[in-house]
Amino acid sequence: MKTRPPVGRWQRWRQRGVSRFEFAVAAAILAILAGVLLERVAFYQEQAELVAVQQVAANIRTALDVKVTQAQLPGRSVDLALLSEQNPIALLDRKPANYLGEYYSPDNAELPVGNWYFDRYDKTLIYLLNKRETFGNASAKLLKFKVKLFRLPISVAKPPGTSETAGVTFEQVND
């Protein structure tokens, strides 16, 4: 009958399982990886908010361009001054999912962040920032956009009776 060789000190130690030191090292590595993951998730959330705001603004600009083009067609009459007074969200086929509605000078602290609303008093479309760092000015709590009517100056070289050139623009405004 064969006898087993004596179990060495190293083999006995390995058979016991994981030491506290090994567990601490594994936990530290997992904590670092989790921190990096959370930082990346926060970055992508900020970027998603930025892209969503830019997308809504671009859609509104496109809708305004369509209205201005319609106003220039023969037989069409679109009052561009009226466009600068109305809610620009009404120009969109579908309202954004995070659009709250129209308000008269609401208290921004009571409205949820990450949403749009139209201030009927100022005639401005407002976005309440969720991730302030994304937009450069960390102290700002909101972004304001407004449809503005512009008229180009009448040229002296134009024949009399020629209509003036007018249009609208959708731009960010600062208080």
Is residue 124 over pLDDT 80? yes
Query: Which of the pair, 132 or 25, is modelled with greater confidence?
Result: 25
How many other CB atoms sit within 10 Å of the CB of residue 144?
Answer: 16
Find out whether 59 and 92 touch, Cβ atoms under 8 Å. yes
Q: What angle do CA 58, 139, 104 make, to 5 degrees?
A: 60
Q: What is the percent of the chain with per-residue pLDDT over 90, rounded to a whole number?
A: 39
H helices present in 17-131, as ranges: 20-72, 80-83
Two structure tokens written together for 71: 């106003």
How many Å separate Cα 128 from the centre of its chain?
Answer: 9
| Residue 76 DSSP code | -
Mean pLDDT, rounded, of the chain: 81
Is residue 157 over pLDDT 80? no
Q: Is residue 144 helix, strand or coil?
A: strand
142 closest CA partner among 111, 104, 97: 111
Identify the pLDDT of residue 109.
Answer: 86
Q: Is residue 71 helix, strand or coil?
A: helix
Identify the pLDDT of residue 149.
Answer: 83
Q: Taking residues 123-144, what's their average pLDDT?
A: 75
The dihedral over CA atoms of 42, 48, 49, 53, expressed in degrees to the nearest 10, equals 160
pTM of the model: 0.70
Is residue 98 over pLDDT 60? yes
Q: How confident is the model at residue 134 (pLDDT cuts 50, 70, 90)?
A: low
Find out whether 166 and 152 touch, Cβ atoms under 8 Å. yes
